[in-house]
Amino acid sequence: MISVNLYSNSSKELEKFLSSFYSSSFNLTNVLSWKHLYDNPIEIADIVGVYADNFNDFKIMMLICLDKGLYIHVTNENADNLIKYLFERYPY
């Protein structure tokens, strides 16, 4: 299963980012991590792109898991290549 994992030292940072991404309010109290599973790997391209575009606005870390036990740290430098890779690996 494909997943996006977010981590922060502040639950408010995760709350702000997720509220911004989903355009709805999130109430994360004392939560320093967030994980979402995706059936379709292409669906994570959106959140990775938004994360990269707003990299300096939030103090959060993103990891994506495309293969069991293998996590990729998403950075401002590798986000575009990861999105391209998603569309090459999962062309459906």
Domain extent at residue 25: 2-89
pLDDT digits (tens, 9 = 90+) for 27-82: 777 789 999 999 999 999 999 999 999 999 999 999 999 999 999 999 999 999 99
**pLDDT of res. 39:** 92
CA-closest candidate to residue 52, choices 11, 86, 83: 83
* 1, 37 Cβ separation under 8 angstroms: yes
pTM of the model: 0.90
Split into its structural domains, the chain has a count of 1
